[in-house]
């Protein structure tokens, strides 16, 4: 399912691919009552939080939510579905706290580098960005492995970000509880509106 972007920040901006095809088995095994992307976080689903950040980034985007055998298959299908894109930011749908500014920073770095990875306090996160020239390799991915082989082949650069949300994925109920605490901390740091 493709989505028309709310706002395109610049001509030739990369497309954010939101991966929402996984089975979420670890979340259910940890006691989760539903698929992790449908789990509630502060009154909204995990996926709704992720999509809100994507919309706020102003970048074009595509939601890949068809059932695929593995992450490589999901990435491949999404890249083929958006073959006219000028590049891609691969964002798992279970990163509800990722910030729009991180997406924009990765997109901006793609103007000068073929592959980009955001890093928060020494930990690699998402979205991982790929320039258009990586399209053929991404379109050939399959299986459970993601795009790590393409990152290595392109000698991806790392950009430091101040966004814990780029590494705070939801795989278990404990992760969801931690995300709720982080979200509450963000709200208290901003103060009442």
Evaluate whether 103 touches 57 at the Cβ level (below 8 Å). yes
- State the residue range of the domain holding 130: 2-183
Evaluate whether 97 touches 182 at the Cβ level (below 8 Å). yes
In the predicted structure, residue 66 carries a pLDDT above the cut 90: no
Structure tokens at 157: 């650069």
Task: Please state the rounded mean pLDDT for residues 84-93.
Answer: 95
3-state secondary structure of 7: coil
pLDDT tens per residue across span 133-171: 999 999 998 888 888 899 889 889 999 999 999 999 999
In the predicted structure, residue 100 carries a pLDDT above the cut 70: yes
Task: Please state the rounded mean pLDDT for residues 162-184.
Answer: 92
Evaluate whether 18 touches 93 at the Cβ level (below 8 Å). yes
Residue 34 sits in a domain whose CATH number is 3.90.550.10
Instruction: Show the DSSP H helices in the chain as ranges.
Output: 25-29, 46-57, 71-81, 100-109, 135-139, 148-153, 173-190
3-state secondary structure of 55: helix
Structural domain includes residue 190: no
Query: Using H for helix, E for strand and C for coil, what is the string for 165-185?
Result: HHCCCCCCHHHHHHHHHHHHH
Tell which wins on pLDDT, 57 or 31: 57
Structural domain includes residue 82: yes
Distance CA 181, CA 166 (A): 16
3-state secondary structure of 108: helix
Structural domain tally of the chain?
1
Residue 190 pLDDT class (50, 70, 90 cuts): low
With a pLDDT cut of 70, the percent of the chain lying above it is 91
Structural domain includes residue 64: yes
Evaluate whether 57 touches 129 at the Cβ level (below 8 Å). no
In the predicted structure, residue 11 carries a pLDDT above the cut 70: no
What's residue 98's pLDDT? 97
């Amino acid at each position: 399912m493709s989505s028309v972007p709310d706002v395109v920040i610049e001509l030739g901006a990369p497309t954010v691919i939101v991966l929402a095809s996984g089975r979420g088995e670890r979340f259910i095994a940890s006691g989760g009552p539903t698929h992790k992307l449908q789990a509630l976080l502060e009154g909204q689903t995990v996926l709704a939080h992720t999509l809100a950040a994507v919309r706020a980034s102003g970048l074009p985007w595509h939601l890949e939510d068809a059932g695929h055998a593995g992450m490589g298959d999901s990435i491949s299908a999404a890249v083929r579905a958006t073959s006219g894109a000028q590049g891609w930011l691969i964002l798992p749908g279970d990163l509800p706290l990722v910030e729009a500014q991180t997406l924009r920073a990765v997109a901006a770095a793609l103007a000068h580098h073929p592959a980009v990875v955001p890093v928060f306090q020494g930990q690699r996160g998402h979205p991982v960005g790929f320039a258009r020239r990586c399209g053929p390799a991404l379109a050939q991915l399959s299986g459970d492995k993601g795009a790590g082989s393409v990152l290595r082949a392109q000698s991806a650069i790392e950009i430091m970000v101040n966004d814990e949300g780029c590494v705070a994925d939801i795989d278990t109920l404990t992760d969801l509880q931690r995300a709720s605490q982080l979200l509450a901390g963000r709200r208290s740091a901003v103060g009442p509106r």
